[in-house]
Amino acid sequence: MAAEREPPPLGDAKPTDFEELEDGEDLFTSTVSTLESSPSSPEPASFNAEDVSTNSNGPKPAAVVLDDDREDLFAEATEEVSLDSPEREPILSSEPSPAVTPVTPTTIIAPRIESKSMSAPVIFDRSREEIEEEANGDVFDIEIGVSDPEKVGDGMNAYMAYRVTTKTSLSMFSKSEFSVKRRFSDFLGLHSKLASKYLHVGYIVPPAPEKSIVGMTKVKVGKEDSSSTEFVEKRRAALERYLQRTVKHPTLLQDPDLRQFLESSELPRAVNTQALSGAGILRMVNKAADAVNKMTIKMNESDAWFEEKQQQFENLDQQLRKLHASVEALVCHRKELSANTAAFAKSAAMLGNSEDHTALSRALSQLAEVEEKIDQLHQEQAFADFYMFSELLSDYIRLIAAVKGVFDHRMKCWQKWEDAQITLLKKRETEAKMMVANKPDKIQQAKNEIREEIEEWEAKVQQGERDFEQISKTIRKEVGRFEKERVKDFKTVIIKYLESLVQTQQQLIKYWEAFLPEAKAIA
């Protein structure tokens, strides 16, 4: 049954169309409940709506939940969709089967190729078994590693190339293990593409690591010191986390641009990512314009959930920034401690050398050795402080900026809808005036024109409303998924970080226990 059903074209469907599909609801109702208990990561975004509705305070009609399931299947777009085009191509990826039991029919829907703006239709044709495999096991069986930074080229044209290794059992990839070489601007290019496709419809696209002119210049110039190696390592780790977050997103994982990034050996150079390029400047201008617009949009929020969530994210942002600043101070001081301990170790060794009492001299030398080892310990702990704790916080600060961006897009969407409504009203008024005035000769033509315009704007208003509802639904799901991920992320990292602290303390115990008999041996 599922296979033959044709997806309604999203473009000009009226809200009532969705009622027809209610019979498909059953497919999902049962599975919704069974999925509650399944592991968090592999869920298709649709099921999070269930979670979200229970968590949020905003009223959410049950019917909407089920509509979501349907709509999600159509939400995949592989083409650049501009804000203006009301058409969104229903390129369908087959979602992993929502049910754990193999009996539930899978949702294989042949993609409908719209002639309009599609250039590269991608057909995801997956067999039932594959989907079940993935549904039963760890669906996100994909591991990304970024490693082996190496400098390519010389002078100011030099750049670092990173090896991106993918290990996966997902069938959408041609191999199960492969690696490619990518440079930083490639990552930025990937993000830029994903952002332009998905951000404005409400998906939280993980932000790419930040550019650093100072850092890169040092590397280019060829400074082989610890600060540039640290910079490269910091960037490598950030790129790895970026990719890992991106592939965890079920929608983004299906994106062909992402696949191309991971798989193809040659990638067209992304030139628009440079800060001072034409595109870069345009981006900055747009950002400024957006900021101004945001301030002037006064939205009538009908759904308290959004207001609440926005406030929540605002608070979270503030607190995370504070915490991040404090953790950065911690990292700095721990590094200082390490340096000072090393210096002390040296002077203790010297003192031990001068000491003419043999046993004391030996004990002092031992003390120097202990302090040297402790200095190493402090350094390692500082790394842990930074890479686990500090970077997690800075990642989330930028992620929350992306979340805020998505909320802003919703506002813009609303604004568009509002504007369409206002324009429609004006047109109707004009029509009404025409009706009242009595000039039969000119009127017919003008009347027809205005009639046409009115119909056009009516359609726009409906589209605007649909878009707005769509983005609202998507955001709800996305936020639910995001929060789940956030909880998992933080918990994992906190545990890892605490374990690193335990490690340090245990080493300290070992060192001092070894030293104690030496001190006691001083006679």
320 binds other proteins (CB under 8 A): yes
* Inter-axis angle of helices 256-263 and 184-198, nearest 10: 170
By CB under 8 A, residue 304 contacts other proteins: no
Q: Which residues make beta-bridge pairs with 178?
A: 166
Size of residue set near other proteins by CB under 8 A: 57
Q: Taking the chain, what is the end-to-end CA distance rounded to the nearest angstrom?
A: 91
Angle between helices 62-74 and 22-35 (to 10 degrees): 100
Indicate the residue among 236 and 309 with the shorter CB distance to other proteins: 309
The identity of residue 40, as a single letter, is S
The piece of 70-78, 270-278, 310-318, 463-471 that touches other proteins (CB under 8 A) is 310-318
On whether the CB atoms of residues 11 and 84 are closer than 8 A, the answer is: no
Bridge partners, 147 (sequence order): 163
Contact present, 332 and 366 (Cβ < 8 Å): no
Q: Which is nearer to other proteins, 275 or 325 (CB)?
A: 325
Q: Does 505 bind other proteins (CB under 8 A)?
A: yes
Minimum CB separation from other proteins for residue 494, in Å?
6
Distance of closest approach, residue 363 Cβ to other proteins, in angstroms: 6
Q: Considering the complex, what minimum distance in angstroms separates the CB of residue 396 from other proteins?
A: 11
Asked if 486 is part of the footprint of other proteins (rule: CB under 8 A), the reply reads yes
Provide the β-strand partners of residue 161: 150, 183
Contact predicate 122/112, CB 8 Å = no
384 binds other proteins (CB under 8 A): no
Q: Is residue 119 exposed (0-12), middle (13-18) or buried (19+ Cβ within 10 Å)?
A: exposed
Q: How far is the CB of 471 from other proteins (least distance, A)?
A: 24
Q: How far is the CB of 330 from other proteins (least distance, A)?
A: 4
Task: Give dist(CA 74, CA 10) in Å, integer.
Answer: 8
The three-state secondary structure class of 126 is coil
SS3 94: coil
Phi-psi region of 161 (alpha: psi -120 to 50; beta: other; left: phi over 0): beta
109 binds other proteins (CB under 8 A): no
The type of residue at 148 is D
Smallest CA-to-CA distance from 351 within 367, 338, 375 is with 367
Residue closer to other proteins, measured from CB, 60 or 126: 60
Nearer to other proteins, 430 or 504 (CB): 504
Q: Specify the stretch interacting with other proteins by CB under 8 A; choose among 151-159, 189-197, 420-428, 501-509.
A: 501-509
β-partners of residue 146 are 164
- Which one among 357, 433, 447, 451 touches other proteins, defined by CB under 8 A? 357
Rounded distance, CA 380 to CA 386, Å?
Answer: 10
**Residues numbered 50-89 forming contacts with other proteins, rule: CB under 8 A:** 55
The least CB distance from residue 204 to other proteins, in Å, is 17
Torsion sign, CA atoms 451, 452, 456, 459 = positive
37 binds other proteins (CB under 8 A): no
Asked whether position 448 contacts other proteins by CB under 8 A, the answer is: no
Instruction: Considering only the stretches 60-68, 206-214, 319-327, 466-474, report the one whose residues sit in contact with other proteins under the rule CB under 8 A.
Output: 319-327
What's CA 442's distance to the chain center, in Å?
57
Q: Which two tokens stand for residue 483?
A: 């929060």
Subset of residues 322 to 351 that bind other proteins, contact rule: CB under 8 A: 322-323, 325-327, 329-330, 333-334, 336-337, 340-341, 343-344, 347-348, 350-351
We find the least distance from the C-beta atom of residue 503 to other proteins, in angstroms, to be 10
Burial of 496 (0-12, 13-18, 19+ CB in 10 A): middle
Nearer of residues 182 and 378 to other proteins, judged by Cβ: 378
Q: What tokens does 272 get?
A: 């628009």
Q: Does 36 bind other proteins (CB under 8 A)?
A: no
Residue 101 or 326: which CB sits closer to other proteins?
326
**With respect to other proteins, which residue has the nearer C-beta, 232 or 367?**
367
Residues near other proteins, by CB under 8 A: 55, 312, 315-316, 319-320, 322-323, 325-327, 329-330, 333-334, 336-337, 340-341, 343-344, 347-348, 350-351, 353-357, 359-360, 363-364, 367, 483, 486-487, 490-491, 494-495, 498-499, 501-502, 505-506, 508-509, 512-513, 515-516, 519-520, 522
